[in-house]
Amino acid sequence: MADVRTMPVPDGLAGERVDAALARLFGVSRTKAADLAAAGDVLLDGRTVGKSDRLVPGAVLEVTLPDPNLPPGPEVVAEPVPGMAIVHDDDDIVVVDKPVGVAAHPSVGWTGPTVVGGLAAAGYRISTSGASERQGIVSRLDVGTSGLMVVAKSEYAYMMLKRAFRNREVDKTYHALVQGLPDPVVGTIDAPIGRHPGHEFKFAVMRGGKPSITHYEAIEAFRHASLLEVKLETGRTHQIRVHMAALKHPCVGDPLYGGDPVLAKRLGLARQWLHAMALGLVHPGTGEYVTFESTYPDDLAHALDVVAEG
């Protein structure tokens, strides 16, 4: 189990860089401290901070330390990923259109394909920042969610993109097919998300969870479901799925969060109807704002056609 340490910022460390402060507090190297910050495991008053940020006097510091008895993270296996498209590639970033059934990076218990492994098999050299098994990964998509991901190739890009995600400066747009029609049809869900107390792989809206904000707008309504455009301010694990389930409008095809299996079967869905449609960010190399778009994969397009027929 990970070791979560929570404490007020010590007076003697106020104004200190995060990596230097963690090295002094927990006896880890500054490199390891920087890895913890890059992985989102360092919070200051509930918000993630980077290695070069400064500790604020009076703030609450929360650090998740790995169990020292755990083995090293899983190795990256260079393996081609069928269906993974390269949307954009330059010296700093590569934008991929991730198919369903592919993880962002290796993790304990996952033996399937990964974005990192697919890029390695295709000969891409990506940033070496971050934990060894998720180098270059600055934001993830669930295995069962398809769509756009940006991966850092240069160390500078990794640092800038992590900062941009942390400061909510990256525009992420999803389309989600949900059961029923939310009321109101345009809204914001501001509800903290934490790990479900009774289910190892599930998350829930709960007191004491991490701040989580989701904006949604219904763009088309059908008899049994509605298509939403969803934009995220935060990037919690399963955030859209958890927030829509909390509204009693789970993503179609998502049994973990209350999706109707009968409806999913009728639509031919074997996963949640959720797709990362668009990505907008300030390019770390040029400083220009760039956007990327993706189209629905075949299974989601087919399901949408069927539900539109009533």
Give ∠ CA 250-167-187 in degrees, rounded to 5.
35
Between CA 228 and CA 189 the distance in angstroms is: 14
Q: Residue for token digits 């069927």?
A: 306
The one catalytic residue in 41, 92, 142, 254 is 142
Partners of residue 203 on adjacent β-strands: 195
Of 162, 169, 148, 120, the closest CA to residue 36 belongs to 162
CB 245 within 8 A of CB 258: yes
Active site annotation includes 92: no
Between CA 178 and CA 192 the distance in angstroms is: 21
Residues labelled as active-site residues? 142
